[in-house]
Amino acid sequence: MVEVEIVGLRGAGAGTSANDARLPSRKEVRRLARSAAACARVSEGHLAIEFADERRIAQLNREHRGRDMGTDVLSFPVDGAEPLGESLPREIGDVVICASLCGDVREAIVHGVLHLVGYDHEADEGEMLALQRSILKEVTS
């Protein structure tokens, strides 16, 4: 099973109860992340999802992408989706989400995890975003 570590979920909505109310439960975060990973046949390993404030995500965006601004979601893959062998645990990577900059936090979770397992909407013909919509429809129905 994919182990999903969740950091900073409560309080991620910029401190307002209205924003916190639109955040998914820990159970739903795990279900969304595992569904996205399964699309690349990743069924074992560990990933972390951090809910960060605007200052932190802007700092990460500046350090890792050279963009001096906030963003909704960043992905930091580690092992990728290629097979590692039966005895090696997979460190899938980290997703950082800024809920206050997201239109849909659930979409950001799926989007970030799809990037971790090798999908890239900037290089494909729309497959990643179609898959993202499909996962969201299936998991949130």
Quote the CA–CA distance of 83 and 63 in Å, as a whole number: 30
The pLDDT tens digits for 14-70 are 444 444 557 999 999 999 999 999 988 888 899 999 999 999 999 999 999 999 999
Quote the CA–CA distance of 16 and 34 in Å, as a whole number: 28
pLDDT at 18: 47
Distances (CA, A) of 130 to 110, 119, 124, 136: 12, 11, 11, 10
The pLDDT tens digits for 67-123 are 999 999 999 999 755 555 555 667 899 999 999 999 999 999 999 999 998 898 888
How much is the pTM?
A: 0.86
Residue 137, token pair as written in the block:
């429809």
pLDDT at 11: 60
Q: pLDDT category, 124, cuts 50, 70, 90?
A: confident
Quote the CA–CA distance of 114 and 38 in Å, as a whole number: 9
Residue 107, token pair as written in the block:
């979409």
Of 38, 37, 119, 107, the residue nearest 72 (C-alpha): 107
Domain boundaries, the chain: 2-140
Averaged pLDDT score across all residues of the chain? 87
pLDDT at 33: 97
CATH number of the domain at 2-140, please?
3.40.390.30
